[in-house]
Structures are given as structure tokens and as C-alpha cells.
């Protein structure tokens, strides 16, 4: 199995690769996998630079060390590649520039927006996050039971991987949770960032394995810096005379949105990356060569 995935990823990046077989030839599983990965990779519109999130009145300044995928391509990754239930779309995803979604070592950041109004940070220092964690575990268990009935893996919230921290100057909140999906050996790390705005919240969630926590933490600063609201949509632009105030505060951003009519917390959207599905030996060296060639061609374009 390991050789199969190595072959699949190597073929994926080989220039001029075509997948064809005569009617009498038996198509191998390796060839099917290689064709599938190549088709998905080639179909993706990978971008960097200034990315406008019009729905949020926000902008992402994506450096060359990352690439951005739009809603359509993000759904391909989340559903087709990583095995999440369909219908859980995002506004986009960020990947490190030297990684593809098909690698076991890959990680990503999902991007979304919740326009529920101005979220007050007035009681930021009064939140009991340990008490909140208990409620979150119960909400996750309810979500897990629903998933299992639909044929998906169970979810268990293990606890904090990083306790919530709120930067009152930047109006950015971040924390991390550790999840157990089914019987997978590697737990999933969900590192969350919320950027507060005038009319809502920009939602950025890291998806990675717990063993990648140091890597994620080393990239937190870069991701925090690339996301912000446009002038007029920033937290400081709030006008109490005309703007809506959200029915919840910072605690609910950590636990999940408050449903205004009932007052109950809704479990946050959780995405899974199926670690171990693709195991690559020596692919790191190959990818470094590939991206080095791409950078060289971009720096010295053909006349």
C-alpha cells in the first residue's frame, strides 16, 4: 500500500503524464489513484496575493509561502480527499505552498464568515474556559451520535490543545482543541482563530494532526497577520446607533454559536483530515525539487 501511494504522488507531478488504457488492458489501482489525484490537483485554482473575501468585507494578504483555494476547490479537498460529509462548505482554504492536500503531513486553514452582528468583548476577562469545555464536550458528543447514524466516524473532544487567548488590541481570539476521530491512531488538532469585525466574525480554523502542533504554532503569527477587515468593516467602525449587536459573546465563539431563539450552544463545525490514508516515503525531497523549479521559472519567465 505504501508503494502505491508513493507511485501515485510521483506520477501526479510528472510533467506530461497521461492516463490511458486500451479496452483490453486492466487498469491498475495505482493508475486509477494517480489519475484521480492528478485530475483534482490540475483542476484547482491556487492563488496568492490579495484575496478579497467580499462576503465578509475582509481581505487576505496571502504571501508566497501559502496558496489559497476557493469554495469549490476547498470542498473537493474536504469531501473528496479528506472524507468529510458533503454540504459543509467554506469560503476558502489556505495551504502551505510546499504541500499538497494528498500528503499525510499536510495541514490547512479553512476560512469562513459569520455575520451575526458585533460581538462584544466587554466580559472577555470573566470567561471560565474550563467550565465551557465541559459544555463543548457534551455538544461534541451529540454531534458525534448524529454522525455515526449517517455512517461517519465518531468524534470525541479530548480537551484544550491551547487555552483560549484574546488579543484585545488586535481584536483576535485564538485557541486549540484536540479531537479523536473514530479509531484513528493520530488525533486531530483544530486550531481556531476569530477576527472580530463590525458586523460579524472572520473564522479561520487550522486542520492538522496533534503531532503537527509545533508546526502550527510556528505559523500562527503569519496566519493572524494575513487576515483583516477592510476600512469601514473593522471592529472600531462599530456604530451602536445603526449596527446590530450579536446575541452572544466571546465565550460562545469558542464553544459554538448561540442559537438566539433557544439560547443553546450549537456545536462548532469540525473538519477531519484522514491522517495515514496517504503515506509517502521520500516525497519531501521530490516536492522540494518541484517547487524549486516552479520558483525558478516564475523568477525567470520564458521570453
Helix (H, G, I), strand (E, B) or coil at 181: strand
Residue 13: the pLDDT is 46
d(CA 219, CA 213): 10
The ranges of the chain annotated as CATH 3.40.1000 are 48-272
Would you say residue 245 has pLDDT above 80? Answer: yes
Average pLDDT over residues 8-37: 57
- Residue of 280, 229, 267, 251 whose CA lies nearest to 102: 280
Where b means 16+ CB within 10 Å and e means fewer, 28-51 reads eeebebbbbbbebbeebeebbeeb
d(CA 123, CA 249): 8
User: Which burial class, exposed, middle or buried, applies to 70 when counting CB atoms under 10 A from its CB (0-12, 13-18, 19+)?
Assistant: middle
94 or 302, higher pLDDT: 94
CATH classification of 48-272 is 3.40.1000, yes or no?
Answer: yes
Q: How far is CA 289 from CA 11, 31, 269, in A?
A: 14, 23, 36
Question: Which residues are CB-contacts of 267 (< 8 A; sequence separation ≥ 6)?
Answer: 136, 139, 140, 142, 143, 256
d(CA 37, CA 107): 17
pTM above 0.85, yes or no: no
Would you say residue 259 has pLDDT above 50? Answer: no
Q: Are 154 and 147 a contacting pair, CB within 8 Å?
A: yes
Q: What are 155-191's pLDDT values in tens digits?
A: 899 999 999 999 999 999 999 999 888 888 888 888 8
Q: What mean pLDDT, rounded, does the chain reach?
A: 79
CB atoms within 10 A of CB 294: 12
Would you say residue 204 has pLDDT above 80? Answer: yes
Residue 115: the pLDDT is 92
DSSP character at residue 196: E
Q: Which three cell numbers stand for residue 215?
A: 508546526
- For the chain, the distance separating the N- and C-terminal CA atoms, rounded to the nearest angstrom, is 44
pLDDT band at 214 (very low <50, low <70, confident <90, very high): very high
d(CA 95, CA 172): 21
Q: How far is CA 78 from CA 130, 140, 169, 209, 236, in A?
A: 30, 19, 33, 15, 34
> What is the DSSP annotation of 142-162?
HHHHHHHHTTPPPEEEEEEEE
d(CA 182, CA 194): 28
143 or 192, higher pLDDT: 192
Would you say residue 219 has pLDDT above 60? Answer: yes
Would you say residue 14 has pLDDT above 80? Answer: no
d(CA 134, CA 251): 13
Residue 26: the pLDDT is 55
Average pLDDT over residues 241-251: 93
Q: Which three cell numbers stand for residue 196?
A: 472580530
Residue labelled with grid coordinates 496517504: 278
Helix (H, G, I), strand (E, B) or coil at 115: coil
Would you say residue 73 has pLDDT above 70? Answer: yes
Residue 293: the pLDDT is 42
CB atoms within 10 A of CB 6: 18
Amino acid at each position: 500500500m505504501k508503494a502505491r501511494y508513493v507511485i501515485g504522488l510521483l506520477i501526479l507531478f510528472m510533467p506530461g503524464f497521461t492516463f490511458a488504457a486500451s479496452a483490453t488492458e486492466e487498469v491498475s489501482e495505482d493508475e486509477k489513484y494517480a489519475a484521480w489525484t492528478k485530475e483534482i490537483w490540475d483542476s484547482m485554482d491556487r492563488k496568492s496575493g490579495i484575496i478579497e473575501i467580499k462576503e465578509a468585507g475582509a481581505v487576505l494578504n496571502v504571501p508566497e509561502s501559502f496558496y489559497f483555494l476557493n469554495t469549490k476547490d476547498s470542498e473537493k479537498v474536504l469531501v473528496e480527499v479528506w472524507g468529510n460529509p458533503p454540504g459543509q462548505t467554506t469560503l476558502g482554504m489556505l495551504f502551505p505552498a510546499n504541500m499538497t492536500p494528498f500528503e499525510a503531513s499536510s495541514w490547512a486553514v479553512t476560512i469562513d464568515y459569520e455575520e451575526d452582528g458585533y460581538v462584544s468583548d466587554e466580559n472577555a476577562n470573566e470567561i471560565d474556559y474550563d467550565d465551557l469545555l465541559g459544555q463543548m464536550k457534551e455538544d461534541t458528543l451529540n454531534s458525534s451520535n448524529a454522525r455515526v447514524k449517517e455512517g461517519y466516524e465518531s468524534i470525541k473532544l479530548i480537551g484544550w490543545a491551547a487555552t483560549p487567548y484574546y488579543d484585545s488590541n488586535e481584536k483576535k481570539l485564538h485557541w486549540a482543541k484536540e479531537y479523536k476521530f473514530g479509531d484513528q491512531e493520530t488525533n486531530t488538532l483544530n486550531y481556531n482563530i476569530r477576527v472580530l469585525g463590525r458586523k460579524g466574525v472572520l473564522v479561520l480554523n487550522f486542520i492538522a494532526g496533534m503531532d503537527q502542533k509545533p508546526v502550527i504554532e510556528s505559523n500562527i503569527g503569519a496566519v493572524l497577520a494575513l487576515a483583516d477587515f477592510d476600512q469601514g468593516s473593522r471592529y472600531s467602525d462599530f456604530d451602536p446607533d445603526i449596527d446590530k449587536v450579536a446575541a452572544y459573546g466571546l465565550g460562545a465563539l469558542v464553544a459554538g454559536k448561540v442559537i438566539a431563539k433557544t439560547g443553546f450552544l450549537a456545536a462548532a463545525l469540525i473538519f477531519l483530515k484522514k491522517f495515514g490514508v496517504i503515506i509517502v516515503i521520500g516525497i519531501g525531497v521530490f516536492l522540494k525539487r518541484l517547487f524549486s523549479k516552479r520558483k525558478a521559472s516564475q523568477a525567470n519567465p520564458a521570453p
